[in-house]
Amino acid sequence: MHVMIFGCGYSGTAIAKAFAEDGVRITGTTRSAEKVALLAKEGIEAFVFDGETLAPALAEAMQSATHLVQSISPGKSGDPLLRLAQLNLKALMPKLEWVCYLSTVGVYGDHKGAWISEQTSLHPIADRSVERVEAEDGWLRVGVRLDLPVSVLRLSGIYGPGRNAFCNLERGTARRLIKANQVFNRIRVEDIGACARFLSDRKLGGIYNVTDDEPAPPQDVVAEAARLMGIEPPPEQPFETAELSPMARSFYGENKRVSNAKLRALGFAFRYPEYRMSLAELWSSGRWQG
DSSP 95-128: T--EEEEEEEGGGGB--TT-EE-TTSPPB--SHH
- E strand segments, the chain: 2-6, 25-30, 45-48, 67-70, 98-104, 115-116, 150-155, 157-159, 176-178, 186-188, 206-210, 236-238, 257-258
pLDDT tens string 79-120: 999 988 876 888 999 999 999 999 999 999 999 999 999 999
* Shared domain check, 104 and 170: no
With respect to residue 284, please indicate whether it lies within any of the assigned structural domains.
yes
The whole-number pLDDT of residue 87 equals 65
Which of 39, 287, 43 lies closest to 163 in space, CA to CA?
Answer: 287
* Shared domain check, 87 and 171: no
The whole domain housing 13 covers 2-158+188-210
10: number of Cβ within 10 Å: 17
With respect to residue 143, please indicate whether it lies within any of the assigned structural domains.
yes
With respect to residue 229, please indicate whether it lies within any of the assigned structural domains.
yes
The confidence band for 244, taking pLDDT boundaries of 50, 70 and 90, is: confident
* Shared domain check, 205 and 181: no
* Shared domain check, 136 and 180: no
Residues 152, 208: contact at Cβ < 8 Å? yes
The whole-number pLDDT of residue 86 equals 74
* Shared domain check, 202 and 81: yes
With respect to residue 261, please indicate whether it lies within any of the assigned structural domains.
no
With respect to residue 265, please indicate whether it lies within any of the assigned structural domains.
no
